[in-house]
Amino acid sequence: MVTYQYTPAADGGAARQAQSLAERLAARGRRIGVVTARYPGTNRFERVAGVDVHRVWAIPRPGLFSATFLPSLARFLLLHGSRYDIWHAHQAFYNAGVALTLARFRGRRCIVKNAASGPYGDLARLGRIRFGGWVRKTLLGADAVISLNTEMTDELLAAGIPTARIRRIPNGVDCERFSSPSPRQRELARSKLGIGSDGVLVLYAGRLGVDTGTAVILDAWREIEQRFPTEPWTLIVAGDEIGNGAHRARGERELLRARFVGKVADVRPLLRAADLLVRPSLTEGMSNVVLEAMASGLPVVATRTGGLKEQIDEEVTGILVPPGDSHALADALVRLLCDQPCRVSMGAAGRARVEKMYHLDSVVDAYEDLYDRLGGGHHAAAGTDG
């Protein structure tokens, strides 16, 4: 597979999904190669969990990354891409355009996985960037385009992708790695955060930004603090922020019972400590952290947008509110903060839902079926992940 990022530099849902898929496919006996950007401190080549990881030259700086990575990607695909029967691009971005163009030249099948829908999604972004029109044109030649939700499917159809080439395959979650914590695990996780037995913990985990609705949760939590000044409720915000850190600075300035812990390498300890997850995105493809929270037995308060409204069974596994509506978000959070039996019931239902619909093994099954239909055989599959 080809990815802008891969372990140990994987940062973001698309890269983590690509890694999970690659490792599970390799464990099933498929030959998987990953070509990715070489970040400082990483090797040019190594074998990770059965996956051959090739890192090509790039300058990971704004304004220089695409200009250096894309030629390196093209060179690798031209020289070594024929080792693999299928190329698989995660995200419809410049990397997908390069892969699709060269796949035709090398006589290889090429799949593109769309990562997000809505105004901040892949296709919308292509409408705002230079050469985005070229990428959209190359998508018409993809052997298959992966859609994560109904909104995304509609966008792909509107872009001219034939229905027969659109495949609905959701993101998956490792239901063994993410599971409901034991009482001891929960106690230890909460003690490390200094949360008492009577405290209720709300978790926001993900990048801080406009599209992820960070300002909306800050507004909602400020309202909650004003309405319930004495309740032992805490908001944990885990994630980094591109730019000057304005959201974190504002939250630390305005909120009394909110903690900003920055980016975490492993979200599981926070999920074990939490009582519910909040996901206030303005747009979403299919949220990994929502799947991880549901697998961990947590209810979710999220926005009615993109894949979220399909991941969450409203009033069964969580509560949905309109995107951008901080008052509605505050009301939904208060409802669950005050109702422990409801949190437990929704959390159990969420766990059952991911086991049935989003288990990583079933997602890998779907990709194997697609690869085989495209003629990839059992021991040769490769992908490009942006």
CA 52/CA 383 separation, integer angstroms: 12
Distance in angstroms (rounded) separating the CA atoms of residues 7 and 304: 32
Please report whether residue 227 resides in a domain.
Answer: yes
CATH code of residue 159:
3.40.50.2000
Shared domain for 274 and 165, answered yes or no, is: no
- Report d(CA 283, CA 285) in Å as an integer: 7
| Same-domain check for residues 244 and 369 | no
Question: How many structural domains comprise the chain?
Answer: 2
Work out the mean pLDDT of the chain and round it to a whole number: 93
Higher pLDDT, 140 or 381: 140
Using pLDDT thresholds of 50, 70 and 90, give the confidence band for residue 227.
Answer: very high
State residue 376's pLDDT score.
Answer: 59
For the cut 90, the answer to whether the pLDDT of residue 10 exceeds it is: no
The pLDDT assigned to 377 comes to 54
Q: Model-level pTM greater than 0.85? A: yes
**In this model, does residue 378 exceed pLDDT 80?**
no
Give the dihedral sign, CA 291/364/284/60: positive
Residues in the chain, overall count: 386
Long-range contacts of 261-268 (CB under 8 A, 24+ apart): 261/236, 261/237, 262/238, 263/238, 263/239, 264/205, 264/238, 267/205, 267/238, 267/292, 268/177, 268/178, 268/292, 268/296
Question: Hunting for tokens 């805490």 — which residue is that?
Answer: 234
Cβ neighbours of residue 156 closer than 8 Å, sequence gap 6 or more: 114, 123, 145, 147, 166
Indicate if 300 and 377 belong to the same structural domain.
Answer: no
The pLDDT of residue 385: 44
Q: State yes or no: pLDDT of 55 exceeds 90.
A: yes
Same domain, 317 and 338: yes
Same domain membership, residue 152 and residue 6? yes
Mean pLDDT of the 271-278 span = 98
Statement to judge: residues 163 and 286 lie in one domain: no
Tell me, yes or no, whether 162 lies in a domain: yes
pLDDT of amino acid 309: 94
Residues 6+ away with beta carbon under 8 Å from 62? none
What does the pLDDT read at residue 355? Answer: 97
What is the mean predicted confidence (pLDDT) over 362-375?
94
Cis peptide before 323 (omega within 30 of 0): no
Same domain, 78 and 226: no
What distance in Å separates the CA atoms of residue 357 and residue 367, rounded to the nearest whole number? Answer: 15
For range 152-180, the mean pLDDT: 96
Q: Does residue 381 belong to any structural domain of this protein? A: yes
What is residue 305's predicted lDDT score, i.e. its pLDDT?
94
Does residue 203 belong to any structural domain of this protein? yes
Q: Indicate the pLDDT class of residue 216, thresholds 50, 70 and 90.
A: very high
Residue 178 domain-assigned (yes or no): no
**60-85, pLDDT tens digit by residue?**
888 899 999 999 999 999 999 999 99
C-alpha distances out from residue 138 to 36, 74, 114, 375, Å: 21, 15, 14, 21
| 177 located within any domain | no
Residue-level pLDDT at 382: 53
Same domain for 63 and 29? yes
Whether residue 74 is found in the same domain as residue 190: no
Handedness of CA 322, 328, 330, 331 (dihedral sign): negative
Residue 220: domain span: 183-357
In this predicted structure, the answer to whether residue 210 has a pLDDT above a threshold of 70 is: yes
Confidence of residue 380 (pLDDT cuts 50, 70, 90): very low
Contacts of 129 (CB under 8 A, 6+ apart): none
How much is the pLDDT for 150? 95
Mean pLDDT to the nearest integer, 220-240? 96
Q: In this structure, are 168 and 194 located in the same domain?
A: no
* Phi and psi at residue 60, to the nearest 5°: -80, 65
pLDDT (tens digit per residue) in 157-168: 999 999 999 999
Over 20-60, what HEC string results? HHHHHHHHCCCCEEEEEECCCCCCCEEEECCEEEEEECCCC
Q: Is 1 helix (H, G, I), strand (E, B) or coil?
A: coil
Measure the CA–CA gap between 127 and 159, rounded to whole angstroms: 11
- Coil vs helix vs strand at 172: coil
Whether residue 384 has pLDDT greater than 50: no
Domain identity same for 191 and 276:
yes
Angle at 290 between CA 285 and CA 296, to 5 degrees: 155
The single-letter DSSP state of residue 180 is P
Q: What is the pLDDT of residues 309-367, one digit of tens each?
A: 999 999 999 999 999 999 999 999 999 999 999 999 999 999 999 999 999 999 999 99
Question: What pLDDT shows up at residue 324?
Answer: 97
Identify whether residues 257 and 333 lie together within a single domain. Answer: yes
